[in-house]
Structure 1
């Protein structure tokens, strides 16, 4: 993969994060349609009955409903070959139901790392780790 392709993949990922940070579900869905392959492979817990880009849309629907002010801060991005790794800090205020928890009004801040594999400029595969333990502790769902 050329340096130009790697740069394009990083730019695509930044466009995706820009959309997610908008708080606009329609903009997020359009960005996913543009940037993710419909048959994208998503290695993460996803809503039942959803696969590919549709699963990613559902995840963001849940997150935006629960944390309308959600913000992903990209701390570090590394690209090699057809992959881009993004280490992020996610923050937001719990204003809607999330994982069975009614809104608490509490603010969360937690880390995540995702590996995105690109094919022809679109996300073909996502593999990631999200610090859900910290998130749930901050929401009061688990003891500190």
Structure 2
């Protein structure tokens, strides 16, 4: 449904680019659930409170949706954000440095309103860029280190 894509675009723009609360007040169902890998499942009021706290922790320098994927009642938004860490974030003191965040939001719509949302962003990558956490030692950066080679005869899965 192209209407859901347009609504997702409007919500993303209002909530993050313009940092408005209107989307949560009008475009989310009263019983909407927002799933966050750090915060867990939240209702729209608690999610908006935590979103505003996050926005006090960072200064958005550039934010753009990279892609919208229309899945009917589900719409996926892939985005990129350039931000500066200006306040405490996840219990970590601000560094004043800049970094890039890449993330994905999945909206589920019913009757023109968000009923459920899932989101994920590359938290540790951003915290490393802004100097809030140490980068891993080079020997641990290879995510495939310790895995055995593929068995002969095809893919292991």
TM-score bracket for the superposition, by shorter chain length:
0.7 to 0.9
Q: Which runs of 4+ in 1 moved over 4 A?
A: none
Task: Give the TM-score normalised by structure 1.
Answer: 0.82
When the two chains are superposed, the root-mean-square deviation of aligned CA atoms in Å is 1.9
Whether contact under 8 Å (1:39, 1:51) holds in the other structure is no
Report the counterpart of residue 106 of structure 2 in structure 1: 115
Larger Rg: 2
Task: Give the TM-score normalised by structure 2.
Answer: 0.76
Whether contact under 8 Å (1:38, 1:54) holds in the other structure is no
**Structure with the bigger percentage of helix:** 1
Report the counterpart of residue 21 of structure 1 in structure 2: 17
Query: Which consecutive residues of structure 1, in runs of 5 or more, have no partner in the other structure?
Result: 1-5
CA distance in 2, matches of 1:71, 1:125: 26
Shift in Å, 1:141 = 2.4
Structure 2 residue corresponding to 1:60, chosen from 42, 51, 69: 51
Structure 2 residue corresponding to 1:81, chosen from 52, 55, 72: 72
Q: How many residues align?
A: 133
